[in-house]
């Protein structure tokens, strides 16, 4: 933040780029000027990761800004607001990935967080490649369901990925035809983990991936999934359609 020539970057991108000082994270503030004003249709907050922060990396901002399409009058009004970009420092050494995320490592100021995401995704790819399985597809479906249902958004990608990894140790059939069965099984397994309040990390068993959920969130998520299991077990094909409707469009149930 202190060594980069921000005026030079600003002149190169034809917009004002400057660091946001005083916060625990590394954040940049961008004000669109001149020709880019007509291109910037959405202003808000963008999150990117980078291993090395250099002037060359910062040219990525130009691509980010120019990717915005011309928008409506409302979008034109919003272009007078700043665009914020958070920079996530990453250290890589072989398969080890460390990230600087103070919100997760607090109160340890100088601590780095060990990211197991590369190991988890690599393991899923490896397992699917051996039997042409649907493990990654199951994770995507679970993530889509949780993203579309406000009550389930507290469940992030990590616990869902580890849920499938744990199930892979005991379940052998991950063919495409068994996707609906594995999805139902994942929900049943998740209910069990929620009742215990513990879902161990696949590669670091000492880590509880449900520790960030409050008791109310655990109860709410568990109640919703119990209702979904009932739909699946008693409703047949119609129940599965009803389940999907309730998962993705809860306001219509």
Strands (E), the chain: 15-20, 26-32, 45-50, 83-93, 96-99, 113-115
Please tell me the number of Cα atoms within 13 Å of 63 on its side-chain side: 6
Residues 122 and 243 in one domain: yes
H or E segment and range at residue 202 = none
Cα dihedral across residues 215, 217, 218, 220: positive or negative: positive
Residues 77 and 175 in one domain: no
Instruction: Give 71's contacts (C-beta < 8 A, 6+ positions apart).
Output: 41, 42
Residues 133 and 240 in one domain: yes
Asked if residue 23 is part of any domain, the answer here is yes
Asked if residue 1 is part of any domain, the answer here is no
Residues 162 and 221 in one domain: yes
Total domains in the chain come to: 2
- Closest to 83 measured CA to CA, from 42, 30, 34: 30
Alpha-carbon gap, residue 189 to 181, rounded angstroms: 12
Instruction: Give 148's contacts (C-beta < 8 A, 6+ positions apart).
Output: 247, 248, 249
Q: Which residue range(s) make up the domain with 225? A: 116-252
Residues 233 and 180 in one domain: yes
Asked if residue 109 is part of any domain, the answer here is no
Which residues are registered as beta bridge partners of 88?
49
In tens digits, the chain (253 residues) has pLDDT values of 677 788 887 887 778 888 888 776 788 888 876 544 444 444 444 555 555 444 445 555 554 554 444 444 444 455 567 888 888 888 888 878 898 888 778 888 888 988 898 899 999 999 999 999 999 999 998 888 888 777 788 888 999 999 999 999 999 999 989 998 898 899 889 888 888 889 999 999 999 998 888 888 887 777 676 665 555 555 555 545 555 554 444 444 4
pLDDT digits (tens, 9 = 90+) for 68-94: 444 444 444 555 678 888 888 888 888
Residues 55 and 135 in one domain: no
- pTM, 2 dp: 0.64
Asked if residue 96 is part of any domain, the answer here is no
Alpha-carbon gap, residue 148 to 152, rounded angstroms: 8
């Amino acid at each position: 933040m202190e060594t980069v020539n921000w005026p030079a970057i600003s002149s190169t991108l034809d917009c004002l780029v400057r660091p946001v000082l005083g916060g625990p994270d590394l954040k940049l503030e961008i004000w669109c000027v001149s020709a880019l004003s007509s291109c910037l249709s959405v202003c808000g907050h963008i999150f990117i990761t980078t291993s090395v922060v250099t002037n060359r990396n910062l040219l990525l901002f130009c691509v980010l800004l120019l990717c915005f399409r011309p928008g409506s009058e409302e979008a034109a009004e919003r272009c007078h607001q700043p665009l914020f970009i958070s920079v996530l420092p990453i250290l890589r050494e072989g398969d080890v990935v460390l990230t600087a995320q103070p919100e997760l490592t607090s109160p340890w100021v100088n601590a780095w967080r060990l990211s197991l995401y590369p190991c988890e995704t690599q393991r899923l790819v490896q397992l699917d490649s051996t039997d042409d399985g649907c493990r990654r597809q199951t994770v995507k479906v679970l993530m889509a369901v949780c993203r579309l249902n406000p009550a389930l958004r507290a469940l992030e990608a990590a616990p869902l990925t580890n849920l499938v990894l744990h199930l892979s140790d005991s379940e052998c059939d991950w063919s495409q035809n068994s996707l609906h069965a594995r999805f139902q099984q994942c929900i049943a397994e998740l209910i069990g983990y929620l009742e215990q309040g513990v879902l161990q990390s696949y590669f670091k068993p000492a880590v509880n991936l449900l520790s960030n959920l409050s008791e109310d969130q655990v109860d709410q998520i568990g109640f919703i999934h119990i209702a979904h299991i009932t739909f699946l077990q008693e409703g047949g094909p119609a129940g599965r359609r009803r389940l999907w409707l309730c998962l993705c469009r809860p306001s219509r149930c």
